Amino acid sequence: MKINQRRSLCLAALVGGTWLMAGTLLPELVAKEFVPYRGSGWGTPLVIESLPPTEEYPYGGLRGVFVESGQATHFGHYTVWWEFTGYFDFDEDEQVWVFLFGGQYTLTAADGSSVIGVVTAREVLPPDGPPWYFTGTIQITEGTGRFEGVSGAWEMVGESTGDYTYTTEGMIASVGSLRSRK
């Protein structure tokens, strides 16, 4: 009888130790809880390069880098480095010119932890000039530091006159944030 109790105890300790190590070493195995994400900020173009018209994009485009600063839930104060490429097009339905763009988005919190995502965005260019209004989606692809194993997405809405302001709202699940509550 004592042998079976020892084996049961050893098995329980082994399973418990394995679960603890998996939660510590492999954060993607731990259940994630999605919570609301909200933020706001401003940005400015750092580098802008014209792209010539092509057969696929007859009106040409732009490539460059935006830098941003803002405040958001789960991040506090943050900075962003956003490399983008986009092309001009005429929206026949709305009868307006638009700039369709996207690229890699790296948001870094004050502690150096970051979230990396892919952005797709659309800016309307009305004939009477700025401000230009834009919308976009940031889909998270990876994270570092306390955001290792992060997932989620958020929507961005803003206006631009060259520099721009925006608000964001979405859902985010971060293993690192959950771990810090233990």
Cβ neighbours of residue 31 closer than 8 Å, sequence gap 6 or more = none
Specify the residue for token string 């490539």: 63
Sorting pLDDT into bands at 50, 70 and 90, what band is 20?
Answer: very low
What letter represents residue 155's amino acid? Answer: E
Per-residue pLDDT of 80-139, as tens digits, reads 999 999 999 999 999 999 999 999 999 999 999 999 999 999 999 998 989 999 999 999
| Alpha-carbon span 109 to 104, nearest angstrom | 17
Closest CA to 179 of 28, 14, 16: 28
Tokens 């679960």 label which residue? 19
Separation of alpha carbons 6 and 80, rounded Å: 55
Residue-wise pLDDT for 44-70, tens only, equals 999 999 999 999 999 999 999 999 999
Question: What is the model's pTM?
Answer: 0.76
The number of beta carbons lying within 10 Å of the beta carbon of residue 35 is 14
pLDDT value of position 174: 72
